[in-house]
Amino acid sequence: MSNNDQSILVPASALALDARIPPAAFILTGAVAVIGSNSLVLSPIAPEVSQSLGISVQGVMIASAAFGLGTAASALFLARYIDRVGAWRMLRIAFAVLAAALAASAFAPVAAVLAAAQLIAGLAAGIALPAIYSSAAAVAPPGRETETVGIVLTGWTLSLVAGVSLSAVLADYLHWRAVFGAVFLLAVGAFLALAFNGRRDAPSDTPAMSPIAALRLPGVARLLVACGAFMAAFYGVYAYLGDHLTNGLGRPVSANGLTTLTYGIGFGAAVFLDRMLQALSARNLLPFAFAAVAAVYVAMVPASASYGAMLAVALAWGLANHFGLNMLIVRLTAIDPARRGAIMGLNSATTYLAAFAGTLSFGPLYTGFGFAAAAGAAAFLMVISALAAAR
């Protein structure tokens, strides 16, 4: 048999592993980093914003909740048009709006204006995130979906390392407004990359699927329950982590950045294990990933009394959250590839409704009983996530 004939016998899985991750995946990674920077940046600088605007930290975090509410609303009612209009076209529109909202956030004279600007930013993010995740699954080489999605998810690490961590330093040495100004410049850069990357969407005549119809697809509702509990736990704890470290443990605002950086290192380092997850993708590992996150929150209860212990737990927190989020997205996007926009719209709506609920509901819990109680509540929510994803 000739060499050419033998090449036919190369397994498809081996060919998939040799296929390169397309450059578009890295553009999507940057887009996630910009959205992540805005959605996570307020917690570390909340004490500075609180003093500047003359309101409580809990009042400042209303702006974060408004971002989540806006994201949930647009993801629920507008993201379903991604399948019809095209993911890349919707991304360009969303980032233009996001950049304008970030500029308004930087110049907000009062808390109400900051909350309104973040609401508009959320409306843009609610379209952008489902479009990003749908595109990540679409551009992935066959057999490398988990790896490709994992690379795109490292945008959250970039937002934590280069965005949120530096924001604490900017707030310390310049002003909290400089933080939103920096994220605005990143949003403009992302818009230009999306506008000139050469990718264009093919027009589709497929009717946009309603949220109710997408919810009825097999497996979607159960995974959304798991997603909701997962995200409420994360945002509920993260929203008050900065205040706990500053006012509870007496650390400077810049120390919040180091904690966030440690979390980001754990989240980003997990990408090197995603190929192993791809090999095990036939198994339902999502409940075990959620159980690992629950264990991290349990460990956070005693660790909350020590800054050093919180740094160690933050590393494990990032690692476990990466696996949970990656496997959740891969499972959701595989349900119906032709309806990825609608499904991921539901996912983003659930995520930010949970962020809204988690941020607000954990506030009284944190104020009345302390950070350890918030971590314990998060562990309970993760048990619900694991049970929902077990089937």
Q: pLDDT for 261-318, tens place per residue?
A: 888 888 888 877 766 766 665 457 889 999 999 999 999 999 989 988 999 999 999 9
pLDDT of residue 277: 67
65-86 burial: b if 16+ Cβ within 10 Å, else e = bbbbbbbbbbbbebbbbbbbbb
Residue 253, pLDDT > 80, answer no
pLDDT of residue 5: 41
Domains along the chain with CATH numbers = 23-389 (1.20.1250.20)
How many Å apart are CA 353 and CA 355, to the nearest integer? 5
The residue written with tokens 């993010």 in the block is: 125
349-362: average pLDDT: 85
How many Å apart are CA 175 and CA 136, to the nearest integer? 36
**How confident is residue 184, by pLDDT bands cut at 50, 70 and 90?**
very high
pLDDT of residue 31: 92
Scanning 196-304, the segments in alpha helix (DSSP H) are: 211-215, 220-243, 253-269, 274-279, 286-303
Would you tell me the crossing angle of helices 87-106 and 176-195 to the nearest 10 degrees? 160
Contact predicate 65/46, CB 8 Å: no
pLDDT of residue 99: 95
Residue 369 sits at φ, ψ, to 5 deg, of -125, -5
User: What number of other Cβ atoms are within 10 A of residue 331's Cβ?
Assistant: 18
pLDDT one-digit tens code per residue, 122-171: 999 999 998 898 888 777 777 776 778 888 888 887 887 777 667 777 77
Residue 198, pLDDT > 90, answer no
The residue written with tokens 């360009």 in the block is: 92
Contact predicate 375/304, CB 8 Å: yes
Answering whether pTM is above 0.85, one says: no
User: Which of 158, 305, 285 shows the shortest CA–CA distance to 244?
Assistant: 305
**How confident is residue 380, by pLDDT bands cut at 50, 70 and 90?**
very high
- Residue 238: partners with Cβ closer than 8 Å, 6 or more residues away: 40, 43
The residue written with tokens 């982590």 in the block is: 241
Residue 4 sits at φ, ψ, to 5 deg, of -65, -40
E strand segments, the chain = none
How many Å apart are CA 209 and CA 220, to the nearest integer? 14
What percent of the chain has pLDDT above 90? 30
Q: What tokens does 55 get?
A: 């309101």
- Residue 173: partners with Cβ closer than 8 Å, 6 or more residues away: none
36-56: average pLDDT: 83
How many Å apart are CA 129 and CA 202, to the nearest integer? 20
